[in-house]
Amino acid sequence: MTHIEVEHDSRYNYQTAVELAHHLAYLRPRETAWQKVLFTELEISPKPDCQTENQDAFGNHRTFFTLSTPHAALLVRSRSVVSITDRYASFDASQSVAWDEVRNALAYALDRPYVAASEFAFLSPYVPRLVELRAYAERSFVPGRNLAEASIELSSRIHEDFTYSPTATEVHTPILEAFNKRAGVCQDFSHILIGCLRAMGLSAQYVSGYLLTKPVPGTIKLRGADASHAWVAVYCPQAPGQWLELDPTNNVLAGPSHVRLAMGRDFGDVSPLRGVIRGGGEHKLTVGVTVQTIDNAQVKPVPSLTEQKQSHAQPAATQSQSQSQGSN
């Protein structure tokens, strides 16, 4: 079991004062059978006039907040501690069923039992159906082939065929442009993998989160030098939790170094922080992320719902969970 602490700072500096702002944040890690949230807090400055928290349609924790006081800057700072176990340590990919069998089970047919995962088999705003992606995927998904092994091979091919380049794309770069360039960041790699899987009739989720990394030998880990991350979960009935999480950027299965924030159809569902503002003019966004392991003595308990409500009533807005931030 690994204990990981994540600090995520988002700072906006505006050219002119923002008169009114509404923001939506996805910054609290998701609780799962293999990921336990041990501590979480959110600091927002200036203090919101209204702040509410709930779950979205996919079960992700989200925070809405409104600022009606003019402000020239905004700071959203989250800190969380999670414990993660390696759910795939004993997973045998060779034991999964044929991919076309799963595809057939996901397809609609009269009197066939509904499979909840099928809602992730359709196109979405960032991931349209493209014949180019199907042609690319078909090399791995030959008829009758094992689903897990075919999916892992496809993820590995994307890792090998595409160049990681932060300057090749932007947050809203169309998936086909990134595919044709054969370059991008983890958001692009994930959207391409999702598009390939869905083109074959399979279900795939976009997973947002963080990745624990180690500094280059001989150097120290700089605070704020990490980044948010993204990977993919493909519906695989034989996998733990029925989803197999693949990281095409690093050519690995998601493991104890992957901290899951939220999941959705694509990046648009789980952007860490987005908003609508009145005023502000041009703005500058600075994001700093630190991901590191900690020991048990540094872990604080997650505040109860009562404590959260009491905290919201205090002058400083420090409890809860962060326009759009992309993944690297």
What pTM was estimated for this model as a whole?
0.89
Q: Give residue 326's pLDDT.
A: 57
Q: What is the pLDDT of residues 183-213, one digit of tens each?
A: 999 999 999 999 999 999 999 999 999 999 8
Domains and CATH numbers, the chain: 2-84+271-312 (2.60.40.2250), 93-269 (3.10.620.30)
Q: What is the pLDDT of residues 32-63, one digit of tens each?
A: 999 999 999 999 999 999 999 999 999 999 99
Q: Give residue 309's pLDDT.
A: 41
Q: Give residue 308's pLDDT.
A: 43
Write a three-state SS string for the chain. Answer: CEEEEEEEEEEEEEEEEEEEEEEEECCCCCCCCCEEEEEEEEEEECCCCEEEEEECCCCCEEEEEEECCCEEEEEEEEEEEEEECCCCCCCCHHHCCEHHHHHHHHCCCCCCCCCHHHHHCCCECCECCCHHHHHHHCCCCCCCCEHHHHHHHHHHHHHHHCEECCCCCCCCCCHHHHHHHCEECHHHHHHHHHHHHHHCCCCEEEEEEEECCCCCCCCCCCCCEECEEEEEEEECCCCHHHEEEEECCCCEECCCCEEEEEEECCHHHCCCEEEEEEECCCEEEEEEEEEEECCHHHCCCCCCHHHHHHHHCCCCCCCCCCCCCCCC
Q: Give residue 218's pLDDT.
A: 78
Question: Which residues of the chain fall below pLDDT 50?
Answer: 297, 303-324
